[in-house]
Amino acid sequence: MADEEKTEDSEETPKSSKKLLIIIVAALVVLLGGGGAGAFFLLGSDDDDAVVEEVRLPAVYTHIRTKSGRPMFVSTVLSDDERTHYLQAYVVAKSRDPLVAPALEKHMPLIVSRLNTMFSTQEFAKLSTLEGKQNLRSDATKLLQDIMQQRIDIPGVEEVLFTNFVMQ
């Protein structure tokens, strides 16, 4: 009889642990599935129409140059010492809007004139630092965006790049 009791206990233990395991797994599936669905609905967008995939157009690079085709700007820059210092910069406008490149070409004389003015009012000491160069690039980007905003009603220019920048 003692042997029978041991046999019955040993048979019931695996069955009851299997049942318990199945119950736990089922409870986890229900909780995780419900939690995932709840998170989807709670964290999702309120406006179903707002789920629009943005298509990123390839970048278009437009060289900013004079009508005679000179590819760079050469300007004298302000300095505290008694020497004359020069800045030479090759400028490229980066955009993704197909309307911007033709507009840049069309308004190139205005762009070149304004950039020449901007470059010639820079201080040599400030441009000698990385921060000064970055500020000039940022200012040039803003200038081109303002011109495009006035001419074609969109800023259009993503950023201005200096592909070559020399000072002496």
User: 28 versus 15: which is more confidently predicted?
Assistant: 15
120, with CB counted inside 10 A (0-12, 13-18, 19+), is: middle
Among 31, 50, 69, which residue terminates a domain? 50
- Provide the pairing of β-strand 85-95 with 60-64: antiparallel
Contact predicate 75/87, CB 8 Å: yes
Percent of the chain with pLDDT over 70: 70
Residue 13 lies in a domain: yes
**Is 82 found in the same domain as 6?**
no
Q: What are the tens digits of pLDDT across the range 35-79?
A: 555 555 445 555 545 555 668 899 999 999 977 888 899 999 999
**Is 101 found in the same domain as 36?**
no
**Which domain range does residue 15 map to?**
2-50
Q: What are the tens digits of pLDDT across the range 109-137?
A: 999 999 999 999 999 999 999 999 999 99
**Average pLDDT taken over every residue of the chain:** 82
Residue 106 lies in a domain: yes
**What is the predicted pLDDT for the residue at 56?**
87
**Is 148 found in the same domain as 102?**
yes
**Is 140 found in the same domain as 119?**
yes
Residue 47: both structure tokens together: 């406006």
Mean pLDDT of 140-167: 96
- Please give the distance of CA 137 from its chain centroid, rounded to a whole number: 16
